[in-house]
Amino acid sequence: MTIDNLTTDHLYRLITSSRHCIALTGAGVSTLSGIRDFRGKHGLYMEPDTEFPPERMFDIEWFEKDPSLFYRNIGPLVYTVHEKKPSVVHTVLAELERRGFLKAVITQNIDMLHQKAGSRRVIELHGSPRIHYCLRCPGIRVGYEEAAAIVKAGGMPHCPQCGRVLKPTITFFGEPLPLDARREAETEAQDADLLLVLGTSLTVYPAADIPHTTLRCGGKLVIVNETPTPLDENAVFRGGDLGEVFGNLLL
């Protein structure tokens, strides 16, 4: 869809006239901040690597076998996000919340940029690297900044009790989503009369179920994503360029 003043105005009216508007965001929201995505046209998962497929780097079984796969390969991405600035999408969503039009952001991202932009009601479906913990010793907690300094210096954070490498509170493949976050997201999806689906291909489950919940409960979808999604035909507004759409939304 070509975005012009009329269609952007239409989106703004959809948002401001809604009773309970929420957003579901994916990696495409943060590519505008210079953070590489995973499943986009130039995403990390699109690179062939026969020795270490990218999926292994976020796999809990592989982390337990060799945590360096994560820290050495994904570390340069995860532990520099604090240096990035929120994109126009992050800042507009935060402003919509401040004005009372947006009730919550449900995100698949682990970069904490929604909070940095000022969003207060953020549900992190896949966790974040905010905290690191020991898979063996209860009560061991290391914060993001301390872990980031260790990783950027070429090391890995270790448990002071058993010496095991600490794991960030990111949901890896093979782990369930955080129960509280999943429950909150389901409740918000049921209550929403308008769901903004932004920068996600809707191919990763169970996060991709969220728009289906909103549709079943009578809500409407807005989808803005660079590539097509399975629910494009169900959207009342469809756009492809997040920067263009959100750069004009509050003008």
- The second-level CATH assignment, the architecture, of 37-83+127-170 is 2-Layer Sandwich (3.30)
Report the b/e string of 127-142 with b at 16+ CB within 10 A.
Answer: bbbbbbbbeeeeebeb
Tokens of 94: 């935060």
Active site residue 114: no
Domain with CATH 3.40.50.1220 in the chain: 1-35+85-126+177-251
- pLDDT tens per residue, range 3-51: 445 578 899 999 999 999 999 999 999 999 998 766 555 555 555 554 5
First-to-last C-alpha distance (Å) of the chain: 19
Catalytic residue among 90, 114, 126, 132: 126
Helix (H/G/I), strand (E/B), else coil: 22: strand
Helix (H/G/I), strand (E/B), else coil: 39: coil
Domain with CATH 3.30.1600.10 in the chain: 37-83+127-170
Class of domain 1-35+85-126+177-251: alpha beta
Beta-bridged to residue 245, according to DSSP, are none
Tokens of 22: 């929420």
- pLDDT tens per residue, range 213-230: 999 999 999 999 989 999
Closest to 106 in 3D by CA, of 25, 187, 221? 25
| pLDDT of the chain, 251 residues: tens digit per residue | 444 455 788 999 999 999 999 999 999 999 999 987 665 555 555 555 545 566 678 899 999 999 999 999 888 889 999 889 999 999 999 999 999 999 999 999 999 999 999 999 999 999 999 999 999 999 999 999 999 999 999 999 999 999 999 999 999 999 999 999 999 999 999 999 999 999 999 988 889 999 999 999 999 999 999 899 999 999 999 988 999 999 989 87
pTM: 0.90
Q: Cα separation of 59 and 173, whole Å?
A: 5
